[in-house]
């Protein structure tokens, strides 16, 4: 109902900042709700609308940081949905565009914490998209940069939920790259780091099943890495920990 009201205002020519940001975010929420019940293809249209309604005003020279942040959020959220729908190339385009906007707000100085945090999380999804397209060097580069930003945020705010989640995603991107390159010891070390972040997230919010599932996956990944290193008993122990989660 709220989106319908804002669409009506938009159709009447309302291009004020609250209307544009509210309408864009409303479509993001609709898309994510649809995707959350397994209808990824149906999630594309509202996410495309989220980016479309705010684009022209957000790209104007005098656009406020709030408009630019909202535009970037819609773009990387669109990239996430496109990746879920096996549209890797266009997903990369939108994720890259979002990172450019976010970096341009304050060059990731952390003065705009929202922009920096979004940059870190969007970098994680871009890293996955690069990896799926076989662009390993690009995945490594974006993973390292995003992880550095997330870590800087956490140095200031150790329990910042989104930054912890972003760093876990980014570290997993780097672990996957190490695995692709058969740097198994590096992969294991990176997976251990993801375990710590997912465990912290699960402690902060014990009701979040995504954090617990990702922690279980991190134990499983550690088990596989240990087996590849010939450390079979330790690997089996990691798989036992999966059952304990």
User: Angle at the Cα of 158 (from 149 to 151), degrees rounded to 5?
Assistant: 20
Which residues touch 6 (CB under 8 Å, ≥6 apart)? 19, 22, 23, 26
What tens digit of pLDDT does each residue of 28-79 get?
Answer: 999 988 876 667 788 899 999 999 999 999 999 999 999 999 999 999 999 9
pLDDT tens per residue across span 126-159: 999 999 999 999 999 999 999 999 999 999 999 9
**Mean per-residue pLDDT of the chain:** 95
User: Looking at residue 1, what is its pLDDT?
Assistant: 77
How does pLDDT run across 119-134, given as a tens digit for each residue? 999 999 999 999 999 9
Q: What is the pLDDT of residue 141?
A: 98
H-state helical runs in 37-87 = 44-58, 65-84
Please compute the mean of the pLDDT values over residues 84-113 and round it to a whole number.
95
Q: What percent of the chain has pLDDT over 90?
A: 93
Model pLDDT for residues 178-204, shown as the tens digit of each residue:
999 999 999 999 999 999 999 999 999
Q: 75-87: b or e for each residue (b if 16 or more CB lie within 10 Å)?
A: bbbbbbbbbeeeb
């Amino acid at each position: 109902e709220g989106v319908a009201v804002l669409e009506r205002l938009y159709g009447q020519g309302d291009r004020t900042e609250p209307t544009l940001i509210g309408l864009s975010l409303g479509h993001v929420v609709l898309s994510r709700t649809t995707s959350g019940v397994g209808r990824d293809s149906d999630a594309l249209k509202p996410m495309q609308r989220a980016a479309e309604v705010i684009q022209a005003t957000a790209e104007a020279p005098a656009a406020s940081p709030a408009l630019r942040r909202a535009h970037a959020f819609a773009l990387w959220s669109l990239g996430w949905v496109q990746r879920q729908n096996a549209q890797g190339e266009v997903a990369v385009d939108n994720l890259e565009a979002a990172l450019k906007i976010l970096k341009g707000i304050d060059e990731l100085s952390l003065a705009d914490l929202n922009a920096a945090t979004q940059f870190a999380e969007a970098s994680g999804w871009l890293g996955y998209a690069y990896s799926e397209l076989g662009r390993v060097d690009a995945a490594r580069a974006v993973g390292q940069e995003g992880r550095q930003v997330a870590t800087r945020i956490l140095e200031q705010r150790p329990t910042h939920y989104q930054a912890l989640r972003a760093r876990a995603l980014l570290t997993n991107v780097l672990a996957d790259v190490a695995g692709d390159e058969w740097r198994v010891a590096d992969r294991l070390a990176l997976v251990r780091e993801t375990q710590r972040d997912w465990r912290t997230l699960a402690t902060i919010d014990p009701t979040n099943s995504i954090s617990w599932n990702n922690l279980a996956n991190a134990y499983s990944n550690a088990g596989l890495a240990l087996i590849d290193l010939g450390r079979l008993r330790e690997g089996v122990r990691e798989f036992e920990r999966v059952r304990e989660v």
